[in-house]
Amino acid sequence: MPAKHERPTHGVAMSNVRVRIAPSPTGPPHVGTAYIGLFDYAFARHAGGKFVLRIEDTDQERSTKESEEAILRALRWLGLEYDEGPDVGGPYGPYRQSERTDIYREHAMKLVATGHAYHCFCTRERLSQMRKEQQKRKQPPMYDGTCRELSADEVRSRLDAAEPAVFRLKVPREGETAYTDLVRKKGEPVVFQNRHIDDQVLLKSDGFPTYHLANVVDDHLMEITHVVRAEEWVNSTPKHIMLYKAFGWEPPKYAHMPLLRNRDKSKISKRKNHTSLDWYREHGFLPEAMLNFLALMGFSAEEGEEVFDLDAMVRDFSWDRIKTSQPIFDVDKLEWLNGVYIRELGVDELIERLRPFAEAGRLDQGETTRKMVGIIQERLKTLDEFDKWTWFFFTDELDYDVETLIPKKTTGPETAAILRAALDAYEGVDEWTTEPLEQTGRGLCDRLEFKVGQVFMALRVAITGSGQSPPLFESMEILGRTRSLARLRDALARLGEQEGETGRIAD
RNA sequence: GGCCCCGUCGUCCAGCCUGGUUUAGGACACCGGCCUUUCACGCCGGCGACACGGGUUCAAAUCCCGUCGGGGUCACCA
């Protein structure tokens, strides 16, 4: 059943849909790549089409193999499986632009032959000088056209002289170029005056293409039907349209997604945010929470649900539900979502997810481990908080300040009395499980004239070393009789020590 | 600065296309309360927005225009 708001204007048979994610391997895997990839994936799957991964490594200076591998790993971690890509192959390969340079060169030559592009011999120095002057004159920095009308003879002789050259797009000085966007302007065309469009470099002097040439040629050759990319590309789109026209090709549909933002609304950046997917994985974020959160940044479910999985997004996907406004990357909300997903996990599953975050040997298949993970589950916001909640199970050197042992509205001697009585009582407990341990604790409160809060807090700190811990009696059960009693004795000793030193405890 | 996009609570989102059902709804965060052995979870409540100005209309968050604001982009990077 089709969604009621679905636009019937895609103009492409469902099964023909092909989208691609085209990351540049110039750094750690970026959240923006996952964000765009998510929408690519959701749309492709929704439409029954194909999702392609293409590596845009045309920047020889900055592209690295390590970065490419990390991007592939991150996409897999998230579960954004692609149908075609450099490591899985496919009928439109190669999927790495550095392996397609002949194709671009050939196409660039074609454009020169048809008068849509020209050789340019201007040096970088001259160009930057030119821009400087243009800005001084408050003119928009644009190529001044020096090489635009060079004669064929001059071009040939300079080429023969091995003078470095680039290929530039010959943008018409008149007229306008327009396109319609799937997500913005409510279907009205976005119009650009050609005189504002620069003669973009298509092929660099190192023989590599720029993004503009490579993405157009590849998208066409790979039969991409819909280009889903970030909003920062809107201004380049008319150049791309011109290229399609110059080649005599049909342009794809465009969908420009809103850019992820820093708190100050600027484009998300590593200076102001964690932008590496690896960082989120290493800090205990679940891939399903990450995906759900990223989805929320640009998409809203029909019934307004906030928590939904990839399959639900695929099912409900519609360009009508894609937002245009500038979403701020709100880590607080990500953490909340992560907690939601952690709580939904089964204990055994959670143990496996926790394993990379726990020191070796701390998580086994035993019942005690299951109990321990069970009591911290609803307290975890991220997997890397495992240690924060469980450290006291794995050491006998509790590190805490004696003062924290003394509950509010209680004196040192009173605390000592409480712990003394507790030690006596617990030494008599044989069945060391939560129920009897709690009964004993409550009986203690009745006999002593102290409140539950006072008694339990003193016990809590003695047992766990902190005023904030998992449930006390469950923790005692997990710790075991011997170690629990030892901690009570240890606490008593610490109190005695302090009394001896100061003679008096704060009251 | 030129060009382009965007503009509902602090943040994310619903409502806008197909004006009235809205004293503008939900979520995160924050504050208060309940539950409770702490923390957390859960539950209840509170705070809090249609950028502004015109116009169209019986009626505008919703349609039109202008202003203002925010962002993006102006590389032999993508």
The angle at the Cα of A37, spanning A35 to A43, to the nearest 5 degrees, equals 110
- Structure tokens, A320: 């009508």
Q: What is the pLDDT of residues A223-245, one digit of tens each?
A: 999 999 999 999 999 999 999 99
Check residue A187 and give its pLDDT: 81
Q: What is the pLDDT of residues A203-228, one digit of tens each?
A: 999 999 999 999 999 999 999 999 99
Q: What is the pLDDT of residues A319-347, one digit of tens each?
A: 999 999 999 999 999 999 999 999 999 99
Q: Is the pLDDT of residue A7 over 80?
A: no
Check residue A302 and give its pLDDT: 85
Check residue A93 and give its pLDDT: 83
Segment A63-68 mean pLDDT:
96
When the pLDDT of each residue in chain A is averaged and rounded to a whole number, the result is: 92
Q: What is the pLDDT of residues A467-495, one digit of tens each?
A: 999 999 999 999 999 999 999 999 999 98
Segment A417-445 mean pLDDT:
94
Confirm whether A186 is a catalytic residue. no
What CA–CA distance (Å, rounded) separates A94 from A395?
54
> Out of A61-70, A94-103, A179-188, which region has the weakest mean confidence (pLDDT)?
A179-188
- Structure tokens, A263: 């708190």
Q: Tokens 């190192």 belong to which residue?
A: A206
**Dihedral Cα A102, A107, A109, A111, nearest 10 deg:** -170
The residues of A between 97 and 126 with beta carbon within 7 Å of nucleic strand B are 122-124
Q: Measured in angstroms, what separates residue A337's CA from nucleotide B31's C1'?
A: 22
Region class of A272: left (phi > 0), else alpha (psi between -120 and 50), else beta: alpha
Q: Specify the 3-state DSSP secondary structure of A504.
A: coil
Q: Measured in angstroms, what separates residue A447's CA from nucleotide B38's C1'?
A: 22
**CB proximity A14–strand B (7 Å threshold):** no
Segment A65-93 mean pLDDT:
96
Check residue A8 and give its pLDDT: 37
Check residue A233 and give its pLDDT: 97
Q: Give the predicted TM-score (pTM) of the model.
A: 0.91
Check residue A2 and give its pLDDT: 34
3-state helix, strand, coil in chain A (%, to 5): 50, 10, 40
The residues of A between 446 and 485 with beta carbon within 7 Å of nucleic strand B are 452-453, 456-457, 460, 467-474
Q: Measured in angstroms, what separates residue A349's CA from nucleotide B36's C1'?
A: 28
Q: What is the pLDDT of residues A366-419, one digit of tens each?
A: 999 999 999 999 999 999 999 999 999 999 989 899 999 999 888 889 999 999
Check residue A50 and give its pLDDT: 97
Structure confidence at residue A4 as a pLDDT band (50, 70, 90): very low
Count of Cβ atoms closer than 10 Å to residue A246 Cβ: 18
> CA torsion sign, A59 to A62 to A64 to A68?
negative
**Rg for chain A, CA atoms, rounded:** 32
Segment A39-45 mean pLDDT:
97
**A411: burial class by Cβ within 10 Å (0-12, 13-18, 19+)?**
middle
**Dihedral Cα A51, A57, A62, A64, nearest 10 deg:** 80
- C-alpha A134: how far from chain center: 39
**CB proximity A179–strand B (7 Å threshold):** no
> φ, ψ for residue A396 (rounded to 5)?
-115, 10
What CA–CA distance (Å, rounded) separates A55 from A84?
11
Q: Measured in angstroms, what separates residue A317's CA from nucleotide B39's C1'?
A: 39
Does the model's ipTM exceed the 0.85 cut? yes
Assess contact for A214 and A104: CB atoms under 8 A.
Answer: yes
- C-alpha A236: how far from chain center: 25
Q: Is the pLDDT of residue A298 over 50?
A: yes
Check residue A113 and give its pLDDT: 95
> Omega into A94 within 30° of 0, i.e. cis?
yes
Q: Is the pLDDT of residue A501 over 80?
A: no
What CA–CA distance (Å, rounded) separates A62 from A66?
11
- Tell me the residue type at A350: L
Structure confidence at residue A498 as a pLDDT band (50, 70, 90): low
The residues of A between 147 and 166 with beta carbon within 7 Å of nucleic strand B are 164, 166
Check residue A277 and give its pLDDT: 97
Check residue A182 and give its pLDDT: 94
Check residue A499 and give its pLDDT: 53
**Dihedral Cα A409, A415, A418, A421, nearest 10 deg:** -170
> Out of A38-47, A67-76, A125-134, which region has the weakest mean confidence (pLDDT)?
A125-134
The stretches of A12-123 forming alpha helices (DSSP H) are 31-47, 65-78, 101-113
Structure confidence at residue A507 as a pLDDT band (50, 70, 90): very low
The residue that minimises its CA distance to C1' of B26 is A304
Q: Specify the 3-state DSSP secondary structure of A138.
A: coil
**Dihedral Cα A340, A346, A348, A349, nearest 10 deg:** -50
Strand partners, A19: A51
